Amino acid sequence: MIITVVCDIYGKMNNGSDIVADNLITFLKKQGHTVRVLCADQTKKDVEGYYVVPQLFLLKPLQDYVEKVGVTLPFPEIMKVEEAVTGADVVHIMMPFALGLTAAIAARRKKIPITAGFHAQAENITGYLKLDKVPGSTKLVYRFLYRHLYRYCTAIHYPTKFIRDEFESNIKKNTPGYVISNGVHAYVKPRPSEKPEEYKDKIVILTTGRYAEEKDQGTLIKAVKLSRYTDKIQLILGGQGIKEEAYRKLAEGMPVPPLFKFYSRTEIIDVLNYADLYVHPAKVELEGISCIEAIACGKLTIVSDSKLSATRNFAVDEKCIFRAGDEDDLARVIDYWIDHPEERKICEQKYLDSALAFDQEKCMEELEKMIVGAAEKKEAE
């Protein structure tokens, strides 16, 4: 089949959206499909199968912000969109933003079936627009997304049941949804990985993810300050983002300075394997691939109880959950697991056993069935 995959965010491989799109594209090609990728990754110009629109440049303050976030925004050039969509059996839209919405209009006009992923949580959008404190803003965002994209979809991919329930409860409608994890690659697994010499006498606590308000690394930094083991903890914050300067300032004066570093996909798996604990403090999380990677490596994984985060459902023990945004409670949970190494081993095995549900090959097979099924349904009509 000819499948057009539309990516508003693609190319830098520095966030979950990029990685999820690339995994799907790679898998569909491996299955023998002709995959057209519509994106703004300028390095893919003249590469067969890629339909590259211009990069969107904003006024300076906004452009600086976008660059700090680490993404390239697309300008939805109509001619290129039409070229990528024409003749496709199905159009799969990764994100409900400018390029995706434009491609959906073109596909509808040509009567090509549309499928879409649900990878944008309303709170991420309202947070960036500083509207998160405005009553009803979440509902308005979800209704906008439904009106302009998801109501036209033959099938919708939800990475978690949590986000399907969240979306459908806000729009007050049932949708043609499939709950399929984005999964983790087979190379994400327990393997020998020695601590660097300078960390040999330290308790290494790792968190990974974009430095952003909703990821809430600030609560983790405060918790490590409050821990009874603060002078023995090496905190590693794997990632990058707009909150880095604020987090560095917050960490000033800690007996062991935290490490702020962006790791490649393979490097972070080594760090995961030598870390003692993994903490995912996010208040807003649609799926949390970095959290699932920690689970797949058999790490004791501590998560927040935020009602806006899917990761609370991944905990295998109530003692792995802390009150969202509460550094005192997080410090308590961290200290508990440092104090109980034998119980920690048992819990780590439970996490490793639970990772079977996130096998990426099986998840991609299910996603392929969903996309191909949408095209076959159209042919049968």
pLDDT > 60? residue 70? no
pLDDT > 70? residue 58? no
Contact 235, 224 (CB under 8 A): yes
Of 227, 285, 284, nearest in space to 258 by CA: 227
**pLDDT for the residue 245:** 95
**pLDDT for the residue 60:** 64
DSSP 8-state class, residue 252? T
Q: Output the DSSP codes for 23-92.
A: HHHHHHHHTT-EEEEEE--GGGTT-TTEEEPPBP---HHHHHHHHHHT--PBP--HHHHHHHHTT-SEEE
Q: Give percent of the chain with pLDDT exceeding 70.
A: 93
- Pull the structure tokens for residue 268: 């972070």
Angle between helices 265-274 and 289-296 (to 10 degrees): 50
User: In the CATH hierarchy, which top-level class contains the domain 197-357?
Assistant: alpha beta
> Dihedral of CA 292/293/296/301: which sign?
negative
pLDDT > 80? residue 13? no
The mean pLDDT of 298-310, rounded to a whole number, is 97
* Cα gap 162→170, rounded to integer Å: 12
**pLDDT for the residue 59:** 62
Q: Any idea where the domains of the chain sit in the sequence?
A: 2-183+359-380, 197-357
* Cα gap 313→321, rounded to integer Å: 10
pLDDT: which is higher, 163 or 63? 163
* Topology annotation, domain 2-183+359-380: Rossmann fold (3.40.50)
* Cα gap 355→134, rounded to integer Å: 38
Span 22-51, pLDDT tens digits: 999 999 999 999 999 999 999 999 999 999
Query: Within 13 Å, how many C-alpha atoms sit on residue 196's CB side?
Result: 10
**pLDDT for the residue 65:** 58
**pLDDT for the residue 336:** 98
- Pull the structure tokens for residue 42: 């300028």
The distance from CA 344 to its chain's CA centroid, rounded to whole angstroms, is: 27
Helix (H) or strand (E) run with residue 322 in it: strand 321-322
* Cα gap 72→59, rounded to integer Å: 14
pLDDT > 90? residue 64? no
Collapsed DSSP state (helix, strand, coil) of residue 215: helix
Q: Would 2-183+359-380 and 197-357 be classified into the same CATH topology?
A: yes
Residue 71: which pLDDT band, with cuts at 50, 70 and 90? low
Q: Which residue has the tokens 């991420």?
A: 124
**pLDDT for the residue 124:** 78
Span 228-246, pLDDT tens digits: 999 999 999 999 988 999 9
Q: Which residue has the tokens 């009567």?
A: 111
